[in-house]
Amino acid sequence: MRKKIIQKITLFAAHIIAKPLLLLYQATLSVRVIHRDYLRKLLRRKENFIICFWHENMFLPLLVNQDLNSHVLVSQHFDGEVIARVLHAFGIPTIRGSSTRGGKEAYQVMKKRMKNGHFIMTFTPDGPTGPRRKMKLGAVLLASETGAPILPIGVAASRYRRLNSWDRLLLILPGSRCVHRYGKPIYIPPVKKMDELKEYARKVEAVLNRLDEDAERCLKG
**Strand order through the sheet with 71-74:** 30-34, 177-182, 150-157, 49-52, 120-123, 71-74, 94-96
Q: What is the pLDDT of residue 13?
A: 67
Nearest to 122 by CA among 153, 99, 146: 153
Specify the pairing of strand 170-172 against strand 160-162. Answer: antiparallel
Residue 92 within a domain: no
Report how many domains make up the chain. Answer: 1
Nearest to 210 by CA among 177, 186, 181: 181
Entry pTM: 0.92
Residue 5 within a domain: no
The 10s digit of each residue's pLDDT in 6-16 is 666 676 666 78
The 10s digit of each residue's pLDDT in 159-202 is 999 999 999 999 999 999 999 999 999 999 999 899 999 999 99
Residue 76 within a domain: no
Residue 106 within a domain: yes
Q: Which of 47-61, 70-84, 112-126 has the lowest mean pLDDT?
A: 70-84
Flag whether pLDDT at 20 surpasses 80. yes
Q: Tell me whether the omega of the peptide bond preceding residue 190 falls within 30 degrees of 0, making it cis.
A: no
Residue 54 within a domain: yes
Task: Categorise residue 60: left if φ over 0, alpha if ψ from -120 to 50, beta otherwise.
Answer: alpha
Residue 107 within a domain: yes
